[in-house]
Structure 1
Amino acid sequence: MSSRLLRPAALVAALTLGASAWAHAVEYKRVNPTASQIAFTYTLMGARVYGTFGKFQAKLDFDSANPTAASAELTIELDSIDAGDSEANSELQKPAWFNTAVYPVATFESSSVKVLADNRYEVAGKLSLKGLTRNVRAQVTLKPQSAIGVFSGEFILKRADFKVGEGEWADYGIISNDINIKFRVVAPAQ
Structure 2
Amino acid sequence: MWEAAINLDRSILNHLSVFRLSRPWHFLQVDGWSLLPRQLPGATMIRIVAFSLAALLAASQAQAQSTWSFDRGSTEVSFIGHRFGAAVTNGRFERYDGSFAIDFDHPERSRVRVTLETASIKAGSPLVDGFISGESMLDAAHYPVASFVSENVSRTGEHSLDIRGRLTIKGVTHPFDVKATVDGDIERAKRGDALPFQASGSFLRPAYGIGRDVNVVDDRIDIVIKGRLKR
> TM-score by structure 2 length?
0.64
Which protein has the larger Cα radius of gyration, Structure 1 or Structure 2?
2
Q: Are positions 1:153 and 2:164 aligned together?
A: no
Deviates more, 1:137-146 or 1:151-160: 137-146
1:28–1:149 Cα contact (<8 Å) kept: no
Which residue pairs with 1:162 in the alignment?
Answer: 208
Partner amino acid for 1:101?
A
1:97–1:164 Cα contact (<8 Å) kept: yes
Partner amino acid for 2:116?
I
Which residue pairs with 1:59 in the alignment?
Answer: 99
Structure 1 residues 104 and 26: alpha-carbon distance in aligned structure 2, compared to 1, 3 A threshold? closer
Q: Secondary structure at the match of 1:112?
A: strand
1:33–1:58 Cα contact (<8 Å) kept: no
Report how far residue 151 of structure 1 moved: 2.3
Which residue pairs with 2:75 in the alignment?
Answer: 36
CA distance in 1, matches of 2:176, 2:122: 23
CA distance in 2, matches of 1:106, 1:26: 26
For the aligned residue pairs, the C-alpha RMSD in angstroms reads 2.0
CA distance in 2, matches of 1:56, 1:182: 13
Which residue pairs with 2:140 in the alignment?
Answer: 100
Which structure has more relative contact order (CA 8 Å, sep 6+)? It is 1
Give unmatched runs, 5+ long, in structure 1: 1-24
CA distance in 2, matches of 1:136, 1:47: 21
For residue 118 of structure 1, the aligned residue among 133, 136, 158 is: 158
1:78–1:106 Cα contact (<8 Å) kept: yes
Partner amino acid for 1:129?
I
CA distance in 1, matches of 2:87, 2:179: 25
Q: Give the fraction of aligned pairs with identical amino acids, expressed as a percent.
A: 20
Structure 1 residues 119 and 39: alpha-carbon distance in aligned structure 2, compared to 1, 3 A threshold? same
CA distance in 1, matches of 2:175, 2:128: 28
Give unmatched runs, 5+ long, in structure 2: 1-63
